[in-house]
Amino acid sequence: MISRLETTDVLVIGGGLAGERCAIEAAAAGQEAMILSLVPPRRSHSCAAQGGMQAALANCVKAEGDSPLVHFLDTVRGSDWGADQEVANIFAEEAPNAVRELAHFGVPWSRVRGGRNHYFIKGEAVDIDEALENDGLIGQRDFGGTAKWRACYAAAGTGHAALYAVDSEVVRLGVTVRDRTEAMSLIHDGSRCLGAVVRCLRTGKLFAVMAKCTVIATGGYGRIYGQYTSNATINEGTGAAIALDTGVVPLGNMEAVQFHPTTLSPSGILVTEGCRGDGGYLLDKNLERFMVEAEPEKQELASRDVVSRHMAQRMRDGKGVDSPYGRHLWLDIRHLGEKHLRTKLLEVWDICRDFAGLNPAEALIPVRPTQHYSMGGVRVNKDGESYGLAGLFAVGEAACWDMHGFNRLGGNSLAETLVSGRLVGSRVAEEASGMSLRADTGLAFDAIAAAERRAAHWSARTGSGRSVYDIRDAMGEIMMHKVGIFRNGDELEEAVTGLQQLLDDCDNAVLRCKDPGVNPELGFALRLKGMLRLAMTVALGAKARTESRGAHFRTDFSSRNDKDWMNRTLVRWADDESAPTFSYEPTGLIDLPPGHRGYGSDDRIEMTGTVESYNDTVQAEQAAHGRIPSAEAMGSRLRRGAWKAVAT
Amino acid sequence: MKDSGNTETRRLRFEIFRFNPEDANSEPHTDVFEIDETPFMSLYIALNVIRETLDPGLQFDFACRSAICGSCGMMVNGRPALACRTLTSDLPENIQLYPLPVFKLIGDLSVDTGTWFRGMAERTEAWIHERLPFDPEAQEERMSDDIAEAIYEGDRCIECGCCVASCGVANVDPEFLAGAGLNRVARFMMDPRDNRSDEEWFDVVAGEQGVFGCVGMMACADVCPKELPLLEVYAYLRRRTLGARFVARSDADQV
């Protein structure tokens, strides 16, 4: 039986890897933690991460010379210089420990086999002798956009194994998990977050949880792309949406949306980058390996945004394979052999069998790029604390921390969930232990009442309005086709107009289900407006950013522009305002000066001032945009110039 | 890709269990829905078509829709299955859908697997009982890749509950560990990082609710969507458990 008002020290909204790791840290520090999760935590979308987790362990021959500094360089370059470099450095330094900690929690990492190993590298079969003294250490495989083999993995179920191990820890510590609950709004007084209003997805009843600190860990917003996403049905961006609703918490870089090169056509189910890491090729309809010519150096293992654009272009050039569901290309992993496919890529084997009816040892896999990851999210400082509301934190894909900038490297998000989960959990525990709970019941009951009015409004509305599912589908079509892999000003304008129409339609949409209890149609309706508002921030952010950086590619502004756009988009939009407010803050302290990523030609528009003069403005400007001071001074964890020792 | 086959569209007839415990007027019953089959139609697609066009109140669970999260177990023509990876082309025109038994019903096809699995994890202490606290300074402990692959094989269970629903014992004894629970125990038992002794394991697994409660009908192995080798898992558990007993007895004899 749930009462109307509950309290805890730390409220974590979202039971995936980032949220659970955060709750573990808070609980281990003696704070009472409560996790809210849409689904039993082991069903969270973290379980879908397949191929690997990046950490510079350097245990195999092709990883020799790797270090957190090389990982830092890959991450910043991969981000197209959109990342906060201090955060990228913290991340790269702590990732190896996150992998080892997971081994301690029970993840059965694939291990180095000392002696002769057979690999496929850039299309060639290669035999490499792994050092016997490294036998049994955690192994690495190749992934896109990295200088070294760095992705630690458990077959192709890395996220699953990690999530089960971390959830085991949650059970061991006795952390309270309320599964089948959904946060509907944040309770706050304009300067501090005091908890959340929650809908029980077993009964449909609303209640409030008041906490000293609240953590948003709800994952990405891929479902604003409708069916054009590899994301689970539960990745609807709820956490970002309720933060946006406050009007005081900004979201960062919402236009930074990743498209994964290889998702199964037409279902959009992910086929891991590990396939290409282990030696798989992309082929067009003439069975030509087009990536060799397009990117001779990295070939299929160029950054995801680069590969996705080449694939989309190849299909535009008439080299795609026609099917009743649109065009696709081929992924070829036949040469890796059945034994490898049924051990190190087992989940790919299963997915090909179950969802395409094919045997990947014998047949080509139909693939096409699809929305995959949200680099944008709730903007936070390096401690994970949001801008604008003290006591509100965000972590993992829901956050814009921001180590990914405009393009995330494969395997970096899994590592981020564990690294940032621990770090933010520790900061949250510190803050919570120094204060007492402020159970402002008046604010809480007001917030519950407001949420109940929203629900009642939906239920009471009658007439001939559009169905909520119809609006959802229209949103997905707009987002994929006008705010997708290739963007331009005219289509983005059309997208904004279309989304505004959908927002109006949403205000007049009518529910057909009046059942008491869970009412799945009402549940979706309560999320729909938030999804549309997120979609609008993506479209408007993309329209305003007149340059191309990472996954944000403008055909009408095809160069990266460091002169005008070395900054992060921030957007605020209270739920009672008709339009959002955009502003731009400096990306963060620069250590590695902006340079060429190494793909295509170098047509960047360079910064006009010096890095030093840029760095002089960062602290004050970010503070002016609402940045809450971090526990340690800005820049304290930037190892200035250390990368010079490893740069190539 | 699989050939979508004949060109004639089938009309599918779904008979679906309905009950909304939150609605005082709701009685358990079945509803019939008819929709046209489309190529590559899975039950994920079919159920969403039904909900979005015919009955917006219909309750069911999906998350990943790619057979890895374990949300969508249900009885499909009398057999537990993951709905997302069940293609209608593999089914007759008449399709009966019921919620999984054993688990508490939330509504229609939606059941509470989360509570069951958390309870099982707590009873079996399904976590690594480690020797020492984590040392961030130390290199990882070594493990052979063969052992890692063997543990991973057991770790692949997605806790969908199909084996539990298919189990004759679990249907009458809610505490019985069933396939998923026993598999999880075996996964930790074979993990060299878990330092529980055979005697401690004996208490977890040897009772009526453990491996000796299994009456060997093995429906669990037939329905497991991940094709886990449950027969071998139970044999391993019996062997380890009996071994522990004999060792303990002979130790006692010597005292």
Q: Which residues of A are catalytic?
A: 260, 276
Tally A–B CB contacts below 8 A: 205
Q: Evaluate if residue B250 carries a pLDDT over 70.
A: no
Q: What pLDDT was estimated at residue B247?
A: 60
Average pLDDT over residues A163-182: 97
CB contact under 8 A, B127 and A168: yes
CA A359/CA A364 separation, integer angstroms: 8
CA B75/CA B116 separation, integer angstroms: 18
* CA A189 remoteness from chain centre: 29
Instruction: Name the closest residue on chain A to residue B113, using Cα atoms.
Output: A40
Token code pair at residue A531: 């999804």
Token code pair at residue A547: 């340059």
Q: Which residues of A touch B71 (CB under 8 A)?
A: 39, 43
Residue A266: cis peptide before it, omega within 30 degrees of 0: yes
Give B126-176 pLDDT, tens digit per residue. 999 987 889 999 999 999 999 999 999 999 999 999 999 999 999 999 899
Q: What pLDDT was estimated at residue B249?
A: 57
Q: How many CB atoms lie within 10 A of CB A640?
A: 12
pTM here is 0.97
Nearest Cα residue to B225 out of B176, B152, B158: B158
Helix axis angle for A441-460 and A520-544, nearest 10°, is 100
Give the total residue count for chain A: 648
Which residue(s) pair with B76 in the sheet?
Answer: B79, B97
CA B68/CA A64 separation, integer angstroms: 34
Name the amino acid, one letter, at A574: A
C-beta of residue A386 within 8 angstroms of C-beta of residue A247: no
| Exposure class string for A240-254: b at 16+ Cβ within 10 A, else e | bbbbbbbbbbbbbbb
Give A102-115 pLDDT, tens digit per residue. 999 999 999 999 99
Q: What pLDDT was estimated at residue A99?
A: 98
Q: Evaluate if residue A631 carries a pLDDT over 90.
A: yes
Q: Which residues of A touch B113 (CB under 8 A)?
A: 40
Residue of A50, A260, A354 best to disrupt the B interface, most CBs of B under 10 A: A354
Q: Evaluate if residue B4 carries a pLDDT over 60.
A: no
pLDDT band at A427 (very low <50, low <70, confident <90, very high): very high
| Exposure class string for A323-345: b at 16+ Cβ within 10 A, else e | eeeebbbbbbbbebeeebbebbb
CB contact under 8 A, B143 and A111: yes
Helix axis angle for A158-172 and B113-123, nearest 10°, is 70
CB contact under 8 A, B57 and A521: yes
Give the closest-approach CA distance of B99 to chain A in angstroms.
15
Instruction: Name the closest residue on chain B to residue A50, using Cα atoms.
Output: B68
Token code pair at residue A329: 């290309």
Q: Name residue, tokens 């995959």.
A: A372
Give the total residue count for chain B: 255
Instruction: Name the closest residue on chain B to residue A201, using Cα atoms.
Output: B106
CB contact under 8 A, A467 and B52: yes
> Which of B115, B140, B159 is the closest to A137 by Cβ?
B140
CA B182/CA B205 separation, integer angstroms: 8
Q: Beta-strand (E) ranges in A217-280?
A: 251-252, 257-264
C-beta of residue B161 within 8 angstroms of C-beta of residue B222: no
The ipTM (two decimal places) reads 0.95
pLDDT band at A324 (very low <50, low <70, confident <90, very high): confident
Residue B203 backbone dihedrals phi, psi, to 5 degrees: -65, -30
Q: Beta-strand (E) ranges in A478-554?
A: none
Average pLDDT over residues A392-399: 98
Q: Evaluate if residue B245 carries a pLDDT over 70.
A: no
